[in-house]
Structure 1
């Protein structure tokens, strides 16, 4: 037992000394953060809400609402545009021009026939939620989850108008 104690005590002291050395050495080295990491950290630590009162608060609330609306628009696909033609030419044309995957073509026999058979609300719902049927498959939001419901509806409405 004496030999064991005489071996364990120096090893424990050495372990504690190594831990202290590593701890102190780590704080001596400068920590560099990339600007992107700093910005992400600041964003994560920013408050998620605020309390506004009085006339100053009303102005701050309006500014915050405008900033939130701008941020929401920047996260929407195609800059949040509701121009159906822009969305069609950017996303939908790949399938609806060639009929790939059973997609109805942009003509009276394609989308026009689907409109007559199912109705506009059903076309909107299938475009937003997706659809798999005997004639083909429509991925939800045309395969772009960043599209808003309004953008999908605008593009479907534009396609219907072109198919008459």
Structure 2
């Protein structure tokens, strides 16, 4: 659910919608706005810390056949049904989430994702950690929006 909400927010941004097909990407301010929305939708208990339990809620959301894992096919099928133009972005995110590269996201992958998001290594994902993580991801994947133009 977390990345789905994030991708939908990016796709529905006026700048993305209007510039899709042109050589303009999202601005830094627009990315920050999306991260704000992403944080709000992810931190469901509004306690300024993203818990492992909050991150694990995505497993049930995307696990279409309820087998306890999310396959690349489940993830991309779900996302492409919502926003087909962002299929390549969905693959890139899945690659980030799939820590062991087995094309199945399970609790271990999500735990490793949580550890990656814990930028300062204190065992929790604070709002600052979350923003720093997603800023880095967005900069790394900016070429998927705006046809090769990176932020900066």
With a CA cutoff of 8 Å and minimum separation of 6, indicate the structure with the bigger relative contact order: 2
Q: TM-score, normalised by structure 2?
A: 0.26
The structure whose residues are more often helix, as a share, is 1
Q: TM-score, normalised by structure 1?
A: 0.24
